Amino acid sequence: MSSIAMTTETTVSHAVEIETTRPFFSVRDMHAYYGESYIVQGVSLDIRKGEILALLGRNGAGKTSTLRTIARTDNPQMRQGEIWLDGLPVHQMKSFEAARSGIQLVPEDRRIIQGLTVEENITLAKVAPGNGWSLEQIYESFPRLAERRTQEGVTLSGGEQQMLAIARALARDLKLLLLDEPYEGLAPVIVQEIERILHSIKPLGITTIIVEQNAVAALKLADRAVILDTGEVVFAGTAKEVLDNTELRHEYLAI
Ligand SMILES: Nc1ncnc2c1ncn2[C@@H]1O[C@H](COP(=O)(O)OP(=O)(O)O)[C@@H](O)[C@H]1O
Ligand SMILES: [Mg+2]
């Protein structure tokens, strides 16, 4: 009798534990190709809600391709694997459906729309359905964008364009932010400003994957890290483990 009660209790507490530790975002054995070129070779990763994951690796390791596969672009094309966001099967979605579900990719070239002001770039993003940030919320977090709201977006500095690209993602329904080399070409003071913004959205439950050549900066910001090499995961652990592991840093990150 008491043993049955104990078993039940154990089962219940175990179930609760699984529920609270279930990853918010999960990639399972993902394979993707550019034509016949096999590039993403069985990537798996897990992220909890509100975490920042640094996705690192040498040039050509497959970082951009991994982000593009997660965002469900046609190139590269995913041929095997599963992608789950908060219980939703992203692997069954088209790219526009993935975006509607809250996956927003900010590519390396930022894609600011020519001929539109800062405010028009943000407003256009708000056309998508869902509960994105209001203009007021955005301007409060990005005072530089507020000052330049009537300026054409493409005439902003590199750092300001990066902020606009992130602001645009926030204007949409944002659950998973995919950032491809956001710090590239930016002055340290601007990098710090972007870091501050990425930190401030964590408590809102926004989950981020950051790809960066500036591995040290990404690792200082991130909770966890995944290192890719030739399209495969060669390390997954905490960001601190990578910072503390000289061998790993030398071998895959050249730092
Ligand atoms: N459009 C493409 N067509 C064919 N091969 C590509 C294409 N884009 C990237 N690749 C190849 O995929 C590999 C991974 O590239 P990428 O994901 O851009 O790496 P990373 O972002 O880590 O530098 C490289 O070998 C690259 O040449
Ligand atoms: Mg890349």
Helices (H), the chain: 2-21, 63-70, 95-100, 118-126, 135-141, 143-147, 158-171, 188-201, 215-221, 239-244, 246-248
- CB-CB contact of 196 with 178 (8 Å): no
Going from the Cα of 59 to the center of ligand 2, the distance in angstroms, rounded, reads: 7
- 224: phi then psi, degrees, rounded to nearest 5: -130, 165
Going from the Cα of 62 to the center of ligand 2, the distance in angstroms, rounded, reads: 7
In this structure, which residues have their CB less than 5 angstroms from ion ligand 2?
Answer: 63-64
For residues 95 and 66, membership in a common domain is answered with yes
Closest CA to 67 of 216, 184, 195, 210: 210
Structure-derived torsion over alpha carbons of residues 234, 239, 245, 247, reported in degrees to the nearest 10: 40
For residues 69 and 181, membership in a common domain is answered with yes
Determine, yes or no, domain membership for 9.
no
How high is the pLDDT of residue 10? 44
CATH code, 59: 3.40.50.300
For residues 235 and 117, membership in a common domain is answered with no
How high is the pLDDT of residue 21? 66
Q: Which ligand is nearest to the CA of 108?
A: 2
Distance CA 121, CA 149 (A): 10
The closest residue, in CA terms, to atom 6 on ligand 1 is: 34
Determine, yes or no, domain membership for 12.
no
| Ligand 1 neighbour 102 (Cβ under 6 A) | no
Q: Is 30 helix (H, G, I), strand (E, B) or coil?
A: strand
For residues 181 and 165, membership in a common domain is answered with no
Distance CA 135, CA 141 (A): 10
Which residue type does 240 have? K
Going from the Cα of 138 to the center of ligand 1, the distance in angstroms, rounded, reads: 33
Q: Which ligand is nearest to the CA of 77?
A: 1
Would you state the structure tokens that stand for residue 147, as one six-digit string?
Answer: 């000052």
| Ligand 1 neighbour 59 (Cβ under 6 A) | yes
pTM above 0.85, yes or no: yes
The closest residue, in CA terms, to atom 26 on ligand 1 is: 60
Determine, yes or no, domain membership for 113.
yes
Determine, yes or no, domain membership for 46.
yes
Which residue type does 219 have? L
Atom of ligand 1 nearest to the CA of 211: 21
DSSP 109-154: T--PPTT-BHHHHHHHHHTSSS----HHHHHHH-HHHHHTTTSBGG
Atom of ligand 1 nearest to the CA of 231: 14
Closest CA to 82 of 68, 95, 92: 92
| Ligand 1 neighbour 37 (Cβ under 6 A) | yes
For residues 58 and 114, membership in a common domain is answered with no
- CB-CB contact of 66 with 46 (8 Å): no
For residues 180 and 162, membership in a common domain is answered with no
For residues 83 and 181, membership in a common domain is answered with yes
Determine, yes or no, domain membership for 95.
yes
Strands 207-211 and 52-56: parallel
Determine, yes or no, domain membership for 230.
yes
For residues 167 and 143, membership in a common domain is answered with yes
| Ligand 1 neighbour 190 (Cβ under 6 A) | no
For residues 142 and 166, membership in a common domain is answered with yes
State the 10-residue block means of pLDDT for the chain, 255 residues long.
43 48 92 98 97 97 98 97 98 96 96 96 89 94 97 97 97 97 94 95 96 96 98 98 96 90
For residues 88 and 119, membership in a common domain is answered with no
Distance CA 133, CA 140 (A): 11
pLDDT digits (tens, 9 = 90+) for 89-114: 999 999 999 999 999 999 999 999 99
Which residue type does 23 have? P
Domain that includes residue 89, residue range? 22-102+175-187+201-255
Contacts of 100 (CB under 8 A, 6+ apart): 128, 129, 130, 173
How many domains does the chain fold into? 2
| Ligand 1 neighbour 75 (Cβ under 6 A) | yes
The closest residue, in CA terms, to atom 14 on ligand 1 is: 62
- CB-CB contact of 183 with 191 (8 Å): yes
Which residue type does 115 have? G
Going from the Cα of 13 to the center of ligand 2, the distance in angstroms, rounded, reads: 43
For residues 159 and 65, membership in a common domain is answered with no
For residues 144 and 159, membership in a common domain is answered with yes
